[in-house]
Amino acid sequence: MSTQLSEQSYEMEADPDVYKTLLESTRAIPWKIDWKTLRFTYIGPQIESLLGWQRDSWRSVDDWAERMHPDDRKWVVDFCVSQSQEGSDHEADYRALKSDGSYLWIRDVVHVLRNEQGEVDALIGFMFDIDERKKVEQERDCLRQELEELSYKDCLTGVANRRMLDQVLEQEWMDARRNCQPLSLVIIDIDYFKQYNDSFGHFKGDECLRQVASLLADSACRARDVVARFGGEEFVLVLPQTDAHAALTVAERCFAALQDANIPHPASPVSSQLTLSCGVATCLPNHRNSLDDFLEQADKALYKAKDGSRNCIVVAEN
């Protein structure tokens, strides 16, 4: 009984028509390329419904390479050629060009066939339609990236949040120490912001915080400068590779930008406009000083400004 069964199954496998029917009824598209001539010797008829190109238009590997997204072409062709030359089975994901001009994500799974001498004789493989899966993956990646970005942003003002500030400070401190570069901090606090909220309401207060954040972001304009919201109405500017003189210039630019914005603050005892108090500190990080001490130095300068007239910049003494 068991002998009969196994004979029957051998007969099935030896029948090329069965293979052909099976191959041509799958959703994956089978193909074969002769290694010497680099020409297709077979491609499943399903290719026409998947990509729209006539089956007999797939003549050589050039047709395959040309019907690939230009951004994918070089690495996919280089990769597949080198793997085939080595005789290694491989797979590659790329965007295949459809006859209507759109693209579809394909996974090509390639097996290398060798002759009796062990030389590469042909490549056979399947093209799988992975478009749906790729799009879901891409959407998921975008969402993850958006979430990642959001987790480092202050949701009211859009500048960096405290979490981001802590990381940036840590990195810039180490970098400045390694490269013997100055690092500057500007801590900025809005004067009499409680009175602003009391005069105009919390909603207007939020709007004011957004406007100030945007002015500060425009004033600290080097690529590595970071503006962060430290707390309620307090902001920090991290200025890498910036000496005391340049840091003072940035602080003065912030003051000038706020003055130009001319935000009314009738309840302020120091001006009819919204004003800022500001502490500036600069440091050459080394093994004798610490980031905490540096932050404290900038904070003390700010509180000197607050204790004094407000609406002023105090530079920390080294």
Ligand X SMILES: Nc1nc2c(ncn2[C@@H]2O[C@H](COP(=O)(O)OP(=O)(O)OP(=O)(O)O)[C@@H](O)[C@H]2O)c(=O)[nH]1
Residues annotated catalytic, as ranges: 233
Site track for ligand X across 127-166, x = CB under 6 A: -----------------------------x----------
Interface with ligand X, residue 232, by CB under 6 A: yes
Q: Measured from the CB of residue 307, what is the shortest distance to ligand X in angstroms?
A: 10
Q: How far is the CB of 278 from ligand X (least distance, A)?
A: 12
247 token code pair: 């840091």
> Per-residue string for binding with ligand X, 184-213, x by CB under 6 A?
-----xxxxxx--x----x--xx--x----
Q: Choose, by CB under 6 A, the member of 233, 236, 274, 316 that binds ligand X.
A: 233
Smallest gap from Cβ 208 to ligand X, in A, equals: 7
Q: How far apart, in whole angstroms, are the C-alpha atoms of residue 240 and residue 183?
A: 5
**E-strand stretches of the chain:** 29-34, 39-43, 90-97, 103-114, 120-129, 183-190, 226-231, 234-240, 276-283, 313-315
Q: Does residue 59 interact with ligand X by CB under 6 A?
A: no
User: Which distant-in-sequence residues (6+ apart) come within 8 Å of 97 by Cβ?
Assistant: 51, 66, 67, 68, 69, 103
Quick check: 306 binds ligand X (CB under 6 A)?
yes
Give the span between the Cα atoms of 161 and 182, in whole angstroms.
23
Check binding of 263 to ligand X (CB under 6 A): no
**Is 164 or 208 the residue whose CB approaches ligand X more closely?**
208
Sign of the torsion angle spanned by Cα atoms 38, 41, 47, 52:
positive
Rounded to whole angstroms, the Cα distance separating 254 from 188 reads 9
**Least distance (Å) between residue 230 CB and ligand X:** 11
d(CA 127, CA 30): 7
Residues 9-48 that bind ligand X (CB under 6 A): none
307 part of the interface to ligand X, by CB under 6 A: no
Cα–Cα distance for residue pair 209/228, rounded to 1 Å: 12
Interface contacts to ligand X, rule CB under 6 A = 156, 189-194, 197, 202, 205-206, 209, 232-233, 306, 310
